[in-house]
Amino acid sequence: MKKYIILFDLKYFRFFLASAFLYLLIPLKHSQAQVDVDKLSKYIDSCRQEWSIPGMSVAIIKDDKVILLKGFGINEVGKPDSVTPKTMFGIASLTKAFTSASIMQLSEQGKINLEDKVTQHIPYFNMYDPWVTHEMTVRDLLCHCCGLATFSGDLLWHSTVYSREDIIRRVQFLKPVYGFRAGYGYSNLMFLTAGEMIPAITGKSYDAYLQENFFKPLEMNSTNSSIQYMKDASKNKNVAIPHVKKGDKIIPIKYISWDNIAPAGGINSNAEDMTHWLKMLLNNGKYNGQTILTENSLRELWSSQNIQEVSKFDNFLFPSMHFHSYGLGWDLFDYHGRKVMNHSGGLDGMVLHLCVVPEEKLGFVILTNSSNYLPYALMYKILDEFFEKKGQDYPRVLLSYMKRKENIEMQSEIDEENARNKKSSPSLILEKYVGEYCGDLYGCAKVSIKNNKLFLQFEPAPEFQSTLTHWQYNTFSVEFLNFPSLPKGKVNFIIDQNGNVDEFTIDVPNPDFDFTELSFKRNTSNAH
């Protein structure tokens, strides 16, 4: 058998490489899908009504043009004001992309490096493990790999008197649930820490830095990072009010302050202003000829940093998805062959989603004023429309699932109520439970007697207070009426070997705030 050897002349090989390189420089044509925007708009509003969402605002950009900018529904249940593209919403965790972009700007200027140790800029920063404290870098702060559980420590900022520095100093008392850089745990507190590097480096507050370097050059004239703007709805009438479902009703609730966690979720904006942010992202970091971010910075922000699982459920719903990861302030995945950069946001009674697909020159933002999952589901519907793909009716599929889940949870509550021992009594007289209970992480809580019942008050958060109603044995039900989004929970008093109350645990089951990680040990010096 003859052996053939193929010889490449070096000059032809170089020509081949040069040709290939030039070919790569030729912009790929993006999809020219003809989307019926009016039809899509009507579909969005029908979904809003089916999900019982009072109001929402949506903006879509395609090929550098705003093709949809519209408000749907009302600002507040029971009031006539309609949502418009200028209606203000708290954008919650969509803020994280601004924080990571701020860090990249400072990196471009040589004032910080992503590989800098956090303690170089925040010397009082400490994690539970001293080695992790020493090794933690700026990059680690921005990609949820520190080892903490998702949302761990979020009660440190929720309606507390703690400052941004106070919160960071208490991070050391949070115990990890997996190894450093060995998993994914969404951490607002790490983004807070990243945000606090900005005043440490520039001498300007986080809020002032955003105003000067993003809001002003991007002409986001209504956008701000103070909760006071949203709370003062009497002066700022075009403000969406947050809502939650309570029983069969959708009720308005008050804004809670995000000021002490602002770098993780404190920006307020509207759909119109957010189109300017989207245009900059889709135009390689430029806006009106001014470079806000370099292309290299965008590439870094949108590079996979923390790999996440593509589950069997994901494969079932989205068979074209092959990877899912987190970048620097951005959630990343592939969908029908395109790389999608997106992020969700949620605060008490308000949910948002933002998505950009640069190779399709497509970007959109969805803002809603209730607790719901519609924006996430709508993302896939909108992508299917512009990618000309026939997908599932994701908003309705998810709504059906949520209703089934709700029924299961209701039945579980009924079963638990039927199983409790209604004839049981506390082990001790109520006065024996009275006292101050403290922990290193959160601080103290006081148990007193009001109207012949135990009364719980969290000291760092004046609005976290509740009458404790006996449930069974040494367990009492707790309900924080100032926060309707939180369900009823349980406070369980633990009796020591001498028959005295030693501590209590608390559990208020909800997807956002972990009460079980709070420790409350009896302060015996003040015990009754």
The verdict on residue 425 lying in a domain is no
The verdict on residue 6 lying in a domain is no
> Does residue 226 share a domain with residue 159?
yes
> Does residue 452 share a domain with residue 304?
no
Number of Cβ within a 10 Å radius of residue 46: 13
The verdict on residue 212 lying in a domain is yes
**Domains: count for the chain:** 2
- Predicted TM-score of the model (pTM): 0.91
> Does residue 477 share a domain with residue 397?
no
Label residue 198 by pLDDT band (50, 70, 90).
Answer: very high
Q: Please report, for the domain that includes residue 301, its CATH number.
A: 3.40.710.10
Q: Last residue of some domain: 406, 441, 461?
A: 406
Label residue 19 by pLDDT band (50, 70, 90).
Answer: very low
Which residues are CB-neighbours of 247 under 8 A, at least 6 positions away? none
> Does residue 466 share a domain with residue 376?
no
The verdict on residue 419 lying in a domain is no
> Does residue 457 share a domain with residue 395?
no
User: Taking a C-beta distance cutoff of 8 angstroms, is the pair 72, 45 a contact?
Assistant: yes
Edge-to-edge strands, sheet with 338-347: 65-73, 55-62, 362-368, 350-357, 338-347, 331-335, 324-326, 306-308
pLDDT at 32: 54
The verdict on residue 153 lying in a domain is yes
Q: CA gyration radius for the chain?
A: 26
> Does residue 196 share a domain with residue 273?
yes
> Does residue 292 share a domain with residue 349?
yes
Residue 512: which region, alpha, beta or left (left: phi > 0; alpha: psi -120 to 50)? alpha
> Does residue 264 share a domain with residue 375?
yes
For residue range 295-345, what is the model confidence (pLDDT) as tens digits?
A: 999 999 999 999 999 988 888 888 899 999 999 999 999 999 999 999 999
Residues across the chain: 528
Q: Please report, for the domain that includes residue 519, its CATH number.
A: 2.40.128.600
Q: List the structure tokens of 395.
A: 């908003």
Q: List the structure tokens of 220.
A: 């986001």
The verdict on residue 163 lying in a domain is yes
> Does residue 444 share a domain with residue 353?
no
The verdict on residue 413 lying in a domain is no
Distance between CA atoms of residues 134 and 119, nearest Å: 7
The verdict on residue 95 lying in a domain is yes
> Does residue 391 share a domain with residue 346?
yes
For residue range 432-486, what is the model confidence (pLDDT) as tens digits?
A: 999 999 999 999 999 999 999 999 999 999 999 999 999 999 999 999 999 999 9
User: Taking a C-beta distance cutoff of 8 angstroms, is the pair 437, 444 a contact?
Assistant: yes
Residue 110: which region, alpha, beta or left (left: phi > 0; alpha: psi -120 to 50)? left
> Does residue 364 share a domain with residue 327?
yes
CA dist list (Å): 470 to 93, 490, 491, 502? 38, 10, 10, 18
> Does residue 192 share a domain with residue 72?
yes
Which residue segment(s) compose the domain that 483 sits in? 430-526
